[in-house]
Amino acid sequence: MIPPDSGKKPAGRSVRPGDWAVLVLILIAGMLLRLDYLAEIAQRPTFTAPMQDPLYNDYWARALITGDWSVPPGVNDPEIPGTPYGRPPGYPYFLAGIYWIFGVNPFAPRLFQMALGLLNVVLAFLLGRALFGRVSGLIAAALMATYWSFIYFEGLLTYPAVVVFLLLSLMHLLRIWRARPGFVTALLCGAVLGLFGLFRPNGLLYAPFLLAWMAWVLRRHANWRPIAASALGLTLGAVALVAPALVRNYRVSGEFIFVSSYGGLNFYVGNHAGATCVEPKIPELKELAGIDNWTCFDYPAIVHGLGRKLGDPTLSFGAANHYFYGKALAFIKEHPRAFVMKTCKKALLFWGPREVTNDTVMEYDKRFSPLLRWLPGFPFAVALFALGLLAWRLTRSAVDSAMAGALFLFVAAYFLSVIPFFIAGRYRVPITPFLLIFGGHGLAVLGQRLAGGPRTATAAMIAFGLAVLAAASVNPTGYKASEGTWHFHQAVAYAAKGDLERALDEYRAMEAAGGDPVVVWANSGRLLAKLGRAEEAIAAYRRGLEHDPRHDALHNNLGWELAQLGKTEEAMAEYAAAVRINPNLAIAQINWGHALASQDKFSEALEHYRRALEINPRDPHAAYNAARMLLELGDPAQAVEYYRRALEMNPRFAEAHNGLGAALAAQGNREEAIREYTEALRLDPRFALARTNLAHAFEQGGDTEEAAREYRRVLEYDPQNDRAREGLRRLETTPAS
């Protein structure tokens, strides 16, 4: 229950000249901390090679600016342009705006977010001063400037810095509304809340709490009109900002999907019998998508896999969303006690001392940082919040209790919006500014009492704060972040940068830290193969299989390396093992097709490529390879269909343009073939096969000058190209007609 407003004007709101000087010093300190951290993270591999959500955000933002939706190496196609938003679109569009203004580079978004972080310090000062007084505001600003997770997330390509700005701005708008209630100010509040929903849709649960708070603030009005106008304004403002995402989702899917389509899957992640409450896993993941863990890039593959399972290849994203919600609700209905226990565990994790791993291993990022390791963690924020609530209770007549209530309600509503799903350290960042603003008031009141208050009451207040700090430092769930996972992230980032030796070092460190040995040897094998150390790669894969003989990817990778050494039969045995273990492992089907094609078994190879395409209808490589086999089997008409299918999925697929040209040429469509060869060369000017095909097409059409020019261009960068040399010799020795 929000304490009733006393009606007295809170004291200590005026700003003294010295306050601005103190605030400037706080901002300078905050800036120096951020610049020091920026210099630190600029040396890390993840700075230019982000992973998981930051990689997804970067990919999405770059594509919005460049129009190039080519998928980064090693991940599935997230199919963003033609499917409902999976992730909320707010941050990718924000990041795209930064790239559009400052250019695509790793420093611009970090610097902008750090500047935004300093602006958040000012907003927290103004809000803390307005609610609790100038000293409380200055302390809140100091806490905001130095709290570790703000600095940390400002250095990542993800949303917290922007969300904190929106929430602090919302609270300032609520102050303006409270001073002058009406439709327009409520509309602005709703717009900011709606904008926040484009970053964190679950946070919109605050809306009904906010409507109730507005009604409570206006309870003394003689008529209902101000309440109705404010409720209408808040609702319209929020809807106006969220509606474009809803409309866009409907346009691409024909379904009304609210902001993002992951809600059902995330709800199921946190509510099934094996849910850990911290890992985004579901029991059917291997069956649906052939993977052990999923990221944002994998959601379309999960939906397509669910469609196969349900016998509906055209299963929509909305239907998949409802399916996963249904699975979770069925679990809750059938196992209410387990649901309650898991919810309690999530609540303890949310308020607990550990930083739960999600797309980054926050706990070890902090521990291994020369700067962040010295800054207090979340138990400190919880203890300050509790101290602030006590101080609010003790000084209620001297503070703006109505606005303090609005902050408290947000903390409660946001917490309730998170625990139905699963917990990650970053999910609690949006409430942290308000914990620290309350904490600023708690420290200010404690300071006043230390300066001249009753000793017993002061000692009790100190004891209360320390008791909460001790309680908040206890970890009843037993959760512990994995150092091995931290090394895994570093290894993947080093590999993405091309520093394979450093990546191998990180995998060795991962194994030493107790990381999954199967992951260690599977990924080490891939890196060793890239380094040309095939025998070592094979040995690594075999070591991995010693730990898990049923690891489908290891069998597939081992098969690939054996095939590169010419051991085709052994390779096919490994592909067969991979497919027996996981029939939906499309890459094993494709590799098996390659092995068969190398033996001129084109019909059998075609069946494997088609199977891969059934597993993943959005895989351009499966369609491309099926087209190759059809061309080898003398069916250029079907080959054209498959090549076009590959190009629908990836218009920048140079090899598919070249193959389509060859298929068209086989049908006698020389002019169309020339257009496809030309497009392949536009995408890859040093594509020798496409250029020799183009030269041959010119030669067949009697344009010997163009043909000779193209053959010579091939020999400029590929002097040993037999086809080009033979074509040029043929042109030079054939007399002109």
Burial of residue 603, with CB atoms counted within 10 A of its CB: 0-12 exposed, 13-18 middle, 19 or more buried? exposed
Sorted by sequence, the CB contacts under 8 Å of residue 245 that are 6+ apart come out as 85, 88, 89, 198, 258, 259, 260
DSSP string for residues in 453-516: S-HHHHHHHHHHHHHHHHHHT--TT-----HHHHHHHHHHHHHHHT-HHHHHHHHHHHHHTT--
The pLDDT score that the predictor gives to residue 346 is: 96
Mean pLDDT, the chain, integer: 92
Share of the chain above pLDDT 90, in %: 76
pLDDT digits over 414-444, tens only? 999 999 999 999 999 999 999 999 999 999 9
Distances in whole angstroms, Cα of residue 500 to Cα of each of 485, 496, 504, 508, 531: 18, 8, 6, 12, 8
pLDDT digits over 116-137, tens only? 999 999 999 999 999 999 999 9
pLDDT digits over 18-42, tens only? 889 999 999 999 999 999 999 999 9
670-674 long-range CB contacts below 8 Å, 24 or more apart?
670/697, 670/700, 670/701, 673/697, 674/698
Cα separation, 619 vs 638, in Å, equals 17
Q: How confident is the model at residue 11 (pLDDT cuts 50, 70, 90)?
A: very low
The pLDDT score that the predictor gives to residue 7 is: 40
Q: How confident is the model at residue 460 (pLDDT cuts 50, 70, 90)?
A: very high
Cα–Cα nearest to 321, from 54, 668, 83, 51: 83
Sorted by where each starts, the structural domains of the chain and their CATH numbers stand as 1-480 (no CATH), 482-582 (1.25.40.10)
The pLDDT score that the predictor gives to residue 657 is: 95
Helices assigned H by DSSP within 352-476: 362-367, 378-394, 401-418, 432-452, 455-472
Cα separation, 1 vs 232, in Å, equals 24
pLDDT digits over 622-668, tens only? 999 999 999 999 999 999 999 999 999 889 899 999 999 999 999 99
């070092």: which residue's tokens? 505
User: Degrees (nearest 5) of the Cα angle 668, 598, 713?
Assistant: 50
Q: How confident is the model at residue 575 (pLDDT cuts 50, 70, 90)?
A: very high
pLDDT digits over 222-256, tens only? 667 888 999 999 999 999 999 999 999 999 999 99
Cα separation, 60 vs 634, in Å, equals 40
